[in-house]
Amino acid sequence: MSAAAALVDAYDAALFDLDGVVYLGPIAVEGAAEGIGALRARGTHVGFVTNNAARTPQEVAAHLVELGIPADPDDVVTSSQAAVHLLTRRFPAGTRVLVVGGDGVRVAVEEAGLVGVTSADDEPAAVIQGYGFDLTWQQLNEAAIAINRGAHWVATNTDPTRPTDRGLVPGNGAAVAAVQMAVSVSPEVAGKPFRPLLDDTVARLGSQHPIFVGDRLDTDVAGAVTAGMDSLLVLSGSHGAPDLLAADPGSRPTYVGQDQRALLQPGRVLTVVGSTFRCGAAEVTLDGDRVVLAEGRPDRADALWAAAQASWRVADRGGRVDHADTLAQLDRLT
């Protein structure tokens, strides 16, 4: 395979989500160090974009280096930084801000010249809420009290779950939802699928035509769609085949791959003739609203991509696909 055939060659930067794409908690996703190292060797600009607000860019970069992935703090943009950017557009330096979350949130507030406080009785002008490993109910209580007293509310992100090496666990969205039940307003959100985090990253890299690599359709891919970026969905984290088949128009990726090494391979080419969808050796035909996979041993990701495109056509014309049936056919191919 020639280097010129690589998918990434059509872009001037590759932006990576972290959880589920580059690592799963304390361990690297298979091929992450190899793939990102190869991208850097090609001269590709690399940025790490995370909705996880718990850690500082310095801590994230150090963790990446420990996993064998070359990274510098300037390569990392967190949702805490993007959320603080929203606050500094609205409030001057020295403004008191109630911090709900971990060190990643607190440090971002301090570095921006805002004053972090821990009690609603400190009369904060705003509340910033992000993930913290030691988050307490009392922090949520203080947030609700401050918001109900008129403080502006910014959430770093609203991811409902977070992938780890042991499985999915509640994300910051769960804690935001808890506060939401006690207040009458909704937060301004910095992280994906909203634009601030991606816009800040693109501005920092000076990119004109980036591709975003993520493992979630509802945040990563939807965020890329909102920001007008192409995207690669990797199947190494939160979302898999069932989610892709059912994706709505606002969360459909440009490409799909098993992991981020797909950037170094040619992009999948789909051809459609009538009701037949072909990708590599995979062939899928629509029989009414039923997705029918031809017999054979194609690459599973090729078959999934063709089946997803067929499913989307049915959904877009108002039909309903039996995704369980489609998944059963995909499973028989392996």
- Which sequence positions are flagged as catalytic? 17, 19
Query: Is residue 242 reached through a cis peptide bond, with omega within 30 degrees of 0 on the bond before it?
Result: no
Tell me the backbone φ, ψ of residue 98, rounded to 5 degrees.
-75, 120
Cβ proximity of 213 and 143 under 8 Å: no
Q: Tokens 């780890």 correspond to what residue?
A: 164
Tell me if 125 sits within 8 A of 152, measured CB to CB: yes
Are 84 and 152 contacting, i.e. CB atoms less than 8 angstroms apart?
no
The answer to whether 215 and 256 have CB atoms below 8 angstroms apart is no
Alpha helices in 123-232 (DSSP H): 137-148, 172-180, 195-205, 222-227
Q: Which two tokens stand for residue 208?
A: 């004109």
- State the DSSP code for 94: T
Coil/strand/helix, residue 110? helix
Bridge partner list, 169: 162
Which tokens go with 42? 């090609």
Check: CB of residue 159 under 8 Å from CB of residue 191.
Answer: yes
